[in-house]
Amino acid sequence: MDQPEYTHLKTGEEIACIAGYYTPREEVRIDYNGRQVLYVVGQAVIESSCCGIGSWGYVLVPGYILDWQNRTNEAGLAVSTVEPVSDRTAREEIGKIIREAEAIPQISFW
């Protein structure tokens, strides 16, 4: 089975979406049980919605790093091979570590 790939977006650059934009702020690697976990901290903004505006911080966890920036895609962005964190206990423990470090409650795992 092929492992998922994570495309490293340029940090600090706004990415437009249907009702606003999001901005990846930082990529972080942490050690967990002898493996490295990649997570991305960012900011999402809704500015053109029919029912209001808002912004919030988020954390996206692609997973365990299997092969760090092993290739470049056609847009010139680095790509890493990852393994999503599927174990419930590991997700809870990693989420706790991230919440303590980032103070952002919204954490999404692949």
| Ordered per-residue pLDDT tens for the chain, 110 residues | 589 999 999 999 988 888 888 899 999 999 999 999 999 999 988 887 777 778 888 999 999 999 999 999 999 999 999 999 999 999 999 999 999 999 998 899 99
In Å, what is the CA distance from 63 to each residue of 22, 37, 51, 99, 102? 20, 5, 34, 16, 17
Tokens coding 9: 């977006």
CA distance 21 to 29: 24
pTM higher than 0.85, yes or no? yes
Quote the domain boundaries for residue 31. 5-109
- Tell me how crowded residue 98 is: count the other CB atoms within 10 A of its CB: 20
Domain count, the chain: 1
**Whose CA is closest to 59, among 35, 86, 91?**
91
